[in-house]
């Protein structure tokens, strides 16, 4: 992906330069229109709804911060923290495991193995939702094949728990990390390692002082991507654990569509706003680092 190096410069230099001041921004207009319609309007409606409360009896609406306050206490706060905890943990695990797997594949001498792993990663990274949940339920659920054959139940195994869900998330997060980090690993030049070795560095020293610092922004970027994926995941968790693992996406669904609680829609919007803020915070850590990685691995 990123292994094609400074191709951009040569391409623009070779391009015909006759029509100098073509209105370049015109080409961006369709993108801007789509952005405004697909992201802008819903975002504004969410912002508006999060601060609105509707009186059930009269139907009159008024502005308030009550929704936001509600969304940050009690069960809703537990769910928000639960989501952050689950996403951070599974993303961290997947980042480490994915790095090892990708490094093993990149340095492998068997071209076929490498291709197979990358292809499989491409498929598995997109294997999610209800099908994934049922695959795990059938294998490791209460009456799952492995659970029964290996007697896991007596050993205390429970798929429908925090750790069960983490395991399921890893199933698509690790392949995603392999896909994300492989180009960066390929960007590590052989000359750097040779230079380090010629100067008497050990393998560990090379990794500690050369490879990892160069990779750090990519790893963090990968972590942010995985965090986002896990944070926004809904269907897998909904199909598998229901309400037993508190997650903010499940709480939003409960508030929007239910048979029990009336008039919780605006709290759901406030919860969505909380999610946007959390995602924004995580991105804020990543963006400044991205510039550094670009310098080495462009």
Q: How far is the CB of 11 from another protein (least distance, A)?
A: 31
Alpha-carbon distance 88 to 162, whole Å? 13
For position 221 contacting another protein by CB under 8 A, the verdict is no
At 204, list the tokens: 């560990």
Query: Which of 42/213 has CB closer to another protein?
Result: 42
Q: How far is the CB of 158 from another protein (least distance, A)?
A: 7
Q: Say how many residues touch another protein, by CB under 8 A.
A: 62
For position 290 contacting another protein by CB under 8 A, the verdict is no
Cβ atoms within 10 Å, residue 172: 23
Cβ distance 147 to 153 under 8 Å? yes
Query: Which of 3/142 has CB closer to another protein?
Result: 142
Query: Which of 153/208 has CB closer to another protein?
Result: 153
For position 274 contacting another protein by CB under 8 A, the verdict is no
Cβ distance 278 to 84 under 8 Å? yes
For position 41 contacting another protein by CB under 8 A, the verdict is yes
Alpha-carbon distance 207 to 202, whole Å? 9
Q: How far is the CB of 34 from another protein (least distance, A)?
A: 14
For position 246 contacting another protein by CB under 8 A, the verdict is yes
Given candidates 141, 187, 217, 222, which one binds another protein under the rule CB under 8 A?
A: 141
Query: Which of 215/248 has CB closer to another protein?
Result: 248
Cβ distance 245 to 237 under 8 Å? yes
Q: How far is the CB of 278 from another protein (least distance, A)?
A: 13
For position 151 contacting another protein by CB under 8 A, the verdict is no
Q: How far is the CB of 221 from another protein (least distance, A)?
A: 17
How many CA atoms lie less than 13 Å away from 274 in the CB half-sphere?
Answer: 28
Given candidates 85, 135, 160, 289, which one binds another protein under the rule CB under 8 A?
A: 160
Cβ distance 165 to 242 under 8 Å? no
Given candidates 42, 122, 151, 213, which one binds another protein under the rule CB under 8 A?
A: 42
- Name, in order, each residue with C-beta under 8 angstroms of 51's C-beta and a sequence gap of 6 or more: 63, 64, 65, 67, 68, 270
With H, G, I as helix, E, B as strand and everything else as coil, classify residue 281.
helix
For position 272 contacting another protein by CB under 8 A, the verdict is yes
Backbone angles phi and psi of 61, in degrees to 5: -110, 150
Cβ atoms within 10 Å, residue 282: 20
Q: What is the DSSP letter of 188?
A: S
The overall longest dimension of the chain from CA atoms, in Å, is 80
Given candidates 192, 207, 234, 296, which one binds another protein under the rule CB under 8 A?
A: 234
Given candidates 100, 110, 127, 163, which one binds another protein under the rule CB under 8 A?
A: 127
Q: How far is the CB of 173 from another protein (least distance, A)?
A: 8
- Give residue for tokens 């601060």: 51
Give the DSSP per-residue string, 224-277.
HHHHHHHHH--HHHHHHTTTSS--HHHHHHHHHS-SS--S-HHHHHHHHHHHHH
Contact residues: another protein, CB under 8 A: 41-42, 45-46, 48-49, 56-57, 59, 74-75, 78-79, 82, 125-132, 137, 141-143, 153, 158, 160, 172-173, 176, 229, 232-237, 241-246, 249-250, 252-254, 256-263, 265, 268-269, 272
């Amino acid at each position: 992906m990123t292994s094609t190096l400074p191709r951009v410069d040569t391409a623009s230099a070779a391009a015909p330069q006759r029509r100098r001041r073509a209105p370049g921004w015109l080409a961006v207009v369709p993108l801007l229109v789509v952005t405004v319609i697909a992201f802008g309007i819903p975002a504004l409606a969410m912002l508006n709804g999060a601060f609105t409360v509707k009186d059930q009896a009269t139907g009159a609406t008024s502005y308030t911060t009550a929704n936001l306050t509600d969304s940050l206490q009690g069960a809703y706060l537990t769910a928000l923290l639960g989501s952050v905890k689950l996403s951070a943990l599974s993303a961290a695990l997947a980042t480490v495991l994915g790095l090892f797997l990708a490094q093993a594949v990149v340095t492998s001498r068997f071209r076929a193995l490498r291709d197979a792993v990358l292809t499989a990663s491409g498929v598995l990274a997109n294997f999610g939702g209800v099908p994934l949940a049922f695959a795990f339920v059938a294998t490791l659920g209460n009456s799952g094949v492995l659970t029964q054959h290996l007697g896991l139940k007596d050993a205390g195994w429970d798929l429908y728990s925090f750790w069960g869900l983490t395991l399921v998330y890893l199933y698509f997060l690790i392949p995603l990390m392999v896909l994300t980090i492989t180009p960066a690993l390929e960007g590590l030049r052989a000359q750097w390692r040779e230079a380090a070795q010629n100067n008497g560095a050990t393998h560990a020293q090379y990794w500690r002082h050369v490879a990892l610092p160069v990779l750090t922004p990519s790893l963090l970027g990968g972590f942010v991507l995985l965090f986002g994926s896990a944070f926004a995941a809904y269907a897998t968790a909904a199909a598998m654990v229901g309400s037993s693992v508190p997650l903010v996406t499940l709480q939003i669904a409960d508030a929007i569509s239910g048979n029990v609680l009336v008039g919780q829609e605006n709290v759901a919007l406030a919860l969505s706003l909380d999610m946007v803020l959390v995602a924004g915070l995580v991105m804020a850590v990543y963006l400044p680092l991205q510039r550094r990685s670009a310098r080495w691995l462009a």
